[in-house]
Structure 1
Amino acid sequence: MKGNIRPIQLTDAELILEWRNTDAVRLNMYNHEKISLDSHMTWFKSMLSNDSCKYFIYERDNIPLGVLSFSDIDPKNRKAFWAFYSGATNVRGIGSEMEQLALDYAFNILNLNKLCCEVLDFNTSVINFHRKFGFKIEGIKKQDYFRDEKFYDIYQLAIFKTDYIKTKKDILAKVEKRFNWEFVLSEAKVDAFAEISGDKNLVHLDRSIAVEQGFEDRIAHGALLAAEISRVAAMEYPSKKPIYLSQNLQFKSPVYLDKALMGKAQLKTQIGRFTIIEYNIYQNEILVASCESAFILNDKDN
């Protein structure tokens, strides 16, 4: 870590107000109006005496660069909410360090079991950013926030201490950034899958029916693409025998039999043993399936 966090002080008040009133910060908050110094100081003094919240300054070499907070701290149920924003958007890596420091403090100092946050739906970069650190979407409050004559959804995310501990464990090596492979879904494999699964939709088995339905030829079951991704994930990339946590698979175009398929995978994030991989599959340079999968890597690559 290049930086550290320290408890907020009264002398930080005006700097925090300056950061908070920038468009990059306030427009992503529930209260998106600019705040006056008097209102800010009233809130600031009350916050300093409120045991249910804690505020910290993130700094490097004693230079303040951001603020993070814990609110609604519930010692009985060992949970809290948190938020952060950077005051120095031109310094790389601040967000990642602040998030990691927040997690360390939440689970090691506050001894929480669960850390939560809420993000407005248009702030997709922050939603994805939290997910990279192991947060999972628990729910979406539909049309729960009204601004400028429009309703917005609120994403509710959380991470548990057990998942935090898993992501903190060391691994033997970093995952390679990219992995490509080729494969074919044959007629024999489709026929066998139809027998095993009971999915005997004729678009998979009868060329004339498939053409009648608007396809060029028989098409593969989507589950076979999911199985191929699972095979690669379990045996080749991101590593051998990882624990599969989740999968978001979307089918984009039909897959035809006995024609070459190209798989392209890339590392989205790796934090300790927690890894997110994006898998894209192409046929004749057309994207036929896209998948984002989350894993906990096996600490023994065998």
Structure 2
Amino acid sequence: MNDINLLPLTSAYLDLILEWRNNPEVRRNMYTSHVISKAEHYAWFKKLESDNTKQCFIFVLNGVPSGFISFVDINLNSKSATWAFYSGNTSVRGIGSLMEVSALNYAFSTLGLHKLSCEVLEFNNMVVRFHEKYGFHVEGVFKKHHFSEGEYWDIYRLAIFNEEWARCKLEINLKKQSISPGSSYRENVFFTNENIIGFSALSGDCNQIHLNKQYAIKNGFDNNLVHGFLVGSVFSKVFGTRFPGDGCIYISQSLSFLSPVYPDDLLEASFVVLSKIGRKLVVETSITNLHSNKKVIDGVAELLISMDSQIGYLNQYL
């Protein structure tokens, strides 16, 4: 389990964060991207000490200073602020998630904010998506607002409200609780003729057994058939969005097609975690037709879960 602390910035850490701040990858994503001198850095800190609208912290992971978090434009009347962060040790897996969660918890639980904002330069679109994963939403874009490297760049303004973070924390907890051996998940689904036609167009599988009811009946079925891989697509949908969720990718999936599925049949997809080793997850998958009570698909999936799902700290800290 990771030990996390946010320590108020003191002069003892100034040289360390100057080294982090002057890293080319960090500077590139800042509004002031030049190499900062020691004198400039110390002058910034002196102003910071007397500014009650700003709070800065050293992010300490397992006893090691590992990043910098700042809150600026703190307005306790409107209960709002803007924040930013950068890591001093990108070799630590998942450190961005740890810092994001720490900052959000501090903002809403300690500062008691109603709204937290941040700004991201357009060329750093991965960070926009990263913030969105933790509940932020884009409020607006300042078009061609920042000049850097010979070009004008858009600035994305994102924000999150306290109730959104509360909801996001719950969703994260549900996902984290879902990735241990023995855990299970179920979801109901059905497929219409419109789904069948759409899948045929996308896949190129225009077999008349799927598209023509009379043709299917002549071949011994009660109705036209839903494509087996269309039925099985519910596995990918659930893995990528629900159980375990974002960042999960397939390694393999076995499928045995046991019984036909017809349009509008109500199905139940079942998932049971068989094992988890590191980021590798093995899940038993099956689909049952609730009308006939027959199993229609059986199989086993091997998955690689996201790095974020590996962060046990989130369970404890959320």
TM-score w.r.t. the length of structure 1 is 0.62
Name which of 260, 265, 286 aligns with 2:237.
Answer: 265
Rounded to whole Å, the distance in 1 between the matches of 2:184 and 2:29 is 31
What letter corresponds to residue 51 of structure 2 in structure 1? Answer: N
What letter corresponds to residue 126 of structure 2 in structure 1? Answer: S
Residues 160-239 of structure 1 correspond to what in structure 2 (within 5 A)? 160-169=161-170, 170-171=173-174, 173-174=177-178, 186=193, 189=194, 220=198
SS of 2:237 mapped into structure 1: strand
* Structure 2 contact 238–245 (Cα < 8 Å) conserved: no
| 2:99 is equivalent to residue 98 of structure 1 | yes
CA 1:51–1:274: 2 relative to 1, 3 Å:
farther
* Structure 1 contact 141–154 (Cα < 8 Å) conserved: yes
Residue 255 of structure 2: aligned partner: none
* Structure 1 contact 180–265 (Cα < 8 Å) conserved: no
CA 1:34–1:8: 2 relative to 1, 3 Å:
same
What letter corresponds to residue 237 of structure 2 in structure 1? Answer: A
Rounded to whole Å, the distance in 1 between the matches of 2:184 and 2:36 is 44
Q: CA deviation at 1:274?
A: 12
Q: Which has the larger radius of gyration?
A: 2
Rounded to whole Å, the distance in 2 between the matches of 1:18 and 1:274 is 38
* Structure 1 contact 21–34 (Cα < 8 Å) conserved: yes
> Percent identity between the aligned chains?
38
Residue 82 of structure 2: aligned partner: 81
SS of 1:122 mapped into structure 2: helix
* Structure 2 contact 107–116 (Cα < 8 Å) conserved: yes
Rounded to whole Å, the distance in 1 between the matches of 2:95 and 2:66 is 8
Q: Which has the higher helix share?
A: 2
Residue 119 of structure 2: aligned partner: 118
Runs of 5+ consecutive residues of structure 1 not aligned to the other structure: 191-218, 226-251, 280-302
TM-score w.r.t. the length of structure 2 is 0.59
What letter corresponds to residue 174 of structure 1 in structure 2? Answer: S
* Structure 2 contact 178–244 (Cα < 8 Å) conserved: no
CA 1:151–1:181: 2 relative to 1, 3 Å:
farther
Residue 56 of structure 1: aligned partner: 57
CA 1:77–1:90: 2 relative to 1, 3 Å:
same
Deviations 1:157-210 (A, max 9, x none): 111100111223353942799999998653xx48xxxxxxxxxxxxxxxxxxxx
Deviations 1:92-132 (A, max 9, x none): 22211111111111001110000000001111221111111
* Structure 1 contact 167–274 (Cα < 8 Å) conserved: no
Rounded to whole Å, the distance in 1 between the matches of 2:142 and 2:192 is 41
Aligned length: 220
What letter corresponds to residue 84 of structure 1 in structure 2? Answer: F
Residue 151 of structure 2: aligned partner: 150
Deviations 1:244-298 (A, max 9, x none): xxxxxxxx9999783846433265688xx9965899xxxxxxxxxxxxxxxxxxx
Q: Give the stretch that moved more between structures: 134-143 or 17-26.
A: 134-143
Rounded to whole Å, the distance in 2 between the matches of 1:80 and 1:274 is 32
Question: What RMSD over aligned residues (CA atoms) do the two structures have, in Å?
Answer: 3.8
Residue 300 of structure 1: aligned partner: none
CA 1:275–1:78: 2 relative to 1, 3 Å:
farther
Runs of 5+ consecutive residues of structure 2 not aligned to the other structure: 212-225, 250-318
